[in-house]
Amino acid sequence: MPAGMYSVESLSTGDVAPCERAEFWREHIASYQSRMGYRYSRADNFRGETIRQHTDAYQLVRFWSDEIEYTRTTRQVRQDPDENYRFLLPLSGDIVLRQDDQEARLTPGTGALVSFGAPFECLQSASTDAFIFTIPAHEVDGPMNRKSPLAAGLDLRRGLGRVVGSMLNGLYEERDDLTDPQFNAVSDRVVELLCMLAVGDDRPDVPGHLAQVEAMVRRYVRGHAADPELTGAEMAQALGWSLRQVQLALQRVGTTPRELIREERLRLVRDRLRCAAFEHMTINDLAYASGFSSASALSTAFRQRFGLSPREMRYGSR
């Protein structure tokens, strides 16, 4: 399978003998997650199932299993570095997550972000059914202006949280009818909403007006990112607010109008690099069509954001 292609894979411990299931599960999880410890309540006949959807950018796994405890120690963090985040969302059962002197008890309707870049303990009750969504670190650290473990419970029962849960469930239900660009595009939006949800949870005293301004600014920038003349002042005027209002709304989530415009332009280029409909466009063409002043300006910003050049992303995904 070419690198970057969307794939769906299913696995069940029912495919092996009962006495082999615990080791089978450990090897299976270790094949796509970083190094962890496993403690089983009944290792002689452990039962578990996974359905894994992934590209080179994101991974969504729905899993069901018997009671188990996962741990990631300081030594494992050092020996097998992994700065990426996982978003945990139980659909049944409960999960207790401990990290960075915080504890979150997750039940259906609550979720949490956990960093694999720091030690943690994750205790899962029997017959737990849950999603675990892998998110590249740069997709969280940049938008949230932070780099630290997160273990706070997030409410997925109403409002923005419910939208996030519905989108993850939609990705799962439509798993057999998605393409690589489609899976990545929806995953991008899920992460964006998760960051907004997490920041809002950390700052419940932020006036609702600023949150509304932020949401509308993001929609406007997404729709006009390719305009090379787009600026903070221009978007403020178009939306009927002062530039100061726009700046304050974005400041609360750790960004600025200029940074948001650049971020949306980079996402636009990335999506086009992954899409066959834009294969005829050179990197130079993509730069100008996405609001950048030159191919070199695009390449510099793109490498800083995604860790590789536009050309490397285009040919590395084939």
Please give the pLDDT value at position 2. Answer: 43
Closest Cα to residue 100, out of 120, 73, 80?
120
Please give the pLDDT value at position 154. Answer: 83
Model-level pTM?
0.69
Please give the pLDDT value at position 3. Answer: 43
Please give the pLDDT value at position 142. Answer: 60
Spans of all domains in the chain: 7-179, 208-316
Please give the pLDDT value at position 150. Answer: 54
Of the listed ranges 54-63, 152-161, 226-235, the one predicted with least confidence: 152-161
Does position 183 have pLDDT exceeding 90, yes or no? yes
Please give the pLDDT value at position 1. Answer: 37
Of the listed ranges 1-10, 114-123, 176-185, 224-233, the one predicted with least confidence: 1-10
Average pLDDT for 112-117: 89
Does position 169 have pLDDT exceeding 90, yes or no? yes
Does position 170 have pLDDT exceeding 80, yes or no? yes
Closest Cα to residue 167, out of 149, 182, 185, 186?
186
Residue 281: partners with Cβ closer than 8 Å, 6 or more residues away: 272, 289
Residue type, 108: P
Of the listed ranges 93-107, 156-170, 188-202, the one predicted with least confidence: 188-202
Residue type, 231: T
At residue 169's C-alpha, the angle toward residues 253 and 255, to 5°, is: 10
Residue type, 36: M
Give the Cβ contact number of residue 62 at 10 Å: 22
With H, G, I as helix, E, B as strand and everything else as coil, classify residue 167: helix
Q: Which residue has the higher pLDDT, 252 or 59?
A: 59
| Mean pLDDT rounded to a whole number for the chain | 87
Please give the pLDDT value at position 146. Answer: 53
Percent of the residues in the chain that have a pLDDT greater than 90, as a whole number: 56
Cβ–Cβ < 8 Å for 258, 232: yes
Closest Cα to residue 152, out of 58, 87, 211, 206?
87
Please give the pLDDT value at position 151. Answer: 46
Average pLDDT for 279-285: 92
Please give the pLDDT value at position 261. Answer: 94
Does position 15 have pLDDT exceeding 90, yes or no? yes
Q: How confident is the model at residue 205 (pLDDT cuts 50, 70, 90)?
A: very low
The CATH label, of 3.10.450.350, 3.90.850.10, 2.60.120.10, 2.60.40.150, for the domain at 7-179 is 2.60.120.10
Q: How confident is the model at residue 196 (pLDDT cuts 50, 70, 90)?
A: confident
Superfamily of domain 208-316: Homeodomain-like (1.10.10.60)
